[in-house]
Amino acid sequence: MRRYPLRVEYFNGIADCLLKSGVSAVYTAALPPGGSVEERASTLARFIAETVREEKLHLIAHSLGGLDSRHYVAHLGGAERVVSLTTLATPHRGSSLADLTSDLINPVLKLVGKLGRRTWMEELRRSTAAHHDLRPSSCAAFNARTPDVDGVVYHSWAGAPPREALHGLLEVPAAVLERLEGGLNDGFVSLASAKWSGWRGSVPADHISLVGWQFTSAAKRHFNPGEFYRTLLPDLAAAEKI
């Protein structure tokens, strides 16, 4: 990766779509992939403070990014600048999949510690902290100490694709999640967990398709990313008038 730098756009093609729809500026923050909500929110706060020129902004956050954004708004002064926060497939109530992955990671942490590799253990703990923070019990505690902030408009969406539109890589976690939690899910997050303040509904997209990455054949798709993100704009405009 150092020899052949590769830039991957997380929200695939979405920035261009929004700019062509009349949005004046679009910024995308790069956050530590497996970091804790607190670490990622701090990184988001620094990015906004150092990069975003506009005094006021709208946050559109996918998956774990929704929890980071809520932490930023509620605890790091973000309410002073954020007009609205729209969360897409955010596990507000956690995911049972995180319980499973945490149960796999914890023995590895203990083994590395017993081998005397404390530096490795701490680095592994830091880089996998998201798995702990996404557990339902952790999210319940997070929600209790992170209420919605008055003056900020919240919207939430979920992915609920038909089975044929689900990418093959997501079929197993989707089946596991359905068995553990029941109800609809997008392959990683259940509809019930994604449902939060300002509930706007669900769309026929899996967890990956929601950010513009469509790997299923065109015949199996039920979701148009560009069209969906354009439908968010009236809500954002309305939030500015409140």
> Does the pLDDT at position 172 exceed 60?
yes
Within-domain flag for 105? no
SS (H, E, C) 114-153: HCCCHHHHHHHHHHCHHHHHCCHHHHHHHHHHCCCCCCCE
Asked whether residue 99 is assigned to any structural domain, the reply reads no
Kindly state whether residue 110 falls inside one of the protein's structural domains.
no
Residue 14's closest CA among 51, 52, 61?
61
Residue 112 — pLDDT band, cuts 50, 70, 90?
Answer: very low
Helix (H) or strand (E) holding 23: none
| First CA to last CA distance, the chain | 46
Structural domain tally of the chain? 1
With respect to residue 2, please indicate whether it lies within any of the assigned structural domains.
no
Least confident of 13-22, 129-138, 181-190: 129-138
**Edge-to-edge strand order for the sheet containing 57-62?**
57-62, 82-88, 153-159, 199-203
Does residue 208 fall inside a structural domain? yes
Nearest to 94 by CA among 222, 214, 185: 185
Residue 157 sits in a domain whose CATH number is 3.40.50.1820
Report which DSSP code applies to 45. Answer: H
Instruction: Summarize the confidence of residues 94-117 as an average pLDDT.
Output: 63
**Residue 48 predicted with pLDDT over 80:** yes
In this prediction, residues 73-94 reach a mean pLDDT of: 98
Please determine, for residue 242, whether its predicted confidence score (pLDDT) is greater than 90: no
Please give the residue range of the domain that contains residue 62: 14-93+152-239
- What gap in Å lies between CA 27 and CA 24, rounded to an integer? 10
The model's pLDDT over 141-160, given as tens digits with 9 standing for 90+, comes to 999 999 999 999 999 999 99
Which of 152-161, 216-225, 229-238 bottoms out in mean pLDDT, i.e. has the lowest? 216-225
Determine the pLDDT at residue 16. Answer: 96
Residue 40, pLDDT above cutoff 60? yes
At residue 1, the pLDDT reads 44
Mean pLDDT, the chain, as a whole number?
A: 88
